Amino acid sequence: MVPIKVQQTTIKVTATAALGGVADIKRQIERQTKESQDEIKSAFQDLDSLKEKARNMVAIANSIKAKIQKKEVNTESEEMKEIQ
């Protein structure tokens, strides 16, 4: 597992919220919290997608490696020259 550093978010209270009372301040904090949670959720979805693509790339690389070791691949082909 990779540690992820999350920065603390400063919550800005606008003048209108200050004039509107505690309920407006609470709503503004809840909205900002939800936005932060949505951003974090999106970041983890992107990370999961990246990990899945990396797994697929590793599987392809292992397959190519196995074929080369078994001499099933023509190492002189244009495709293999690009890899080397």
Task: Please check whether residue 54 lies inside any domain of the structure.
Answer: yes
Task: Please check whether residue 56 lies inside any domain of the structure.
Answer: yes
Provide the b/e sequence for 27-48 (b: ≥16 CB within 10 Å): ebeeeeeeeeeeeeeeeeeeee
DSSP 3-state assignment of 16?
Answer: helix
Q: Which residue has the tokens 């190519």?
A: 64
Task: Please check whether residue 52 lies inside any domain of the structure.
Answer: yes
Q: For the chain (length 84 residues), average pLDDT per consecutive 10? A: 58 57 89 92 88 92 83 66 64
| Domain around 54 | 15-83
Task: Please check whether residue 60 lies inside any domain of the structure.
Answer: yes
Task: Please check whether residue 55 lies inside any domain of the structure.
Answer: yes
- One-letter amino acid at 47 equals L
Task: Please check whether residue 69 lies inside any domain of the structure.
Answer: yes
Sign, Cα dihedral of 12, 13, 14, 15: negative
- Secondary structure element (H or E) that encloses residue 21, with its range: none
Please tell me the predicted confidence (pLDDT) of residue 37.
92
Q: Answer whether 3's CB lies under 8 Å from 10's CB.
A: no
Total domains in the fold of the chain: 1
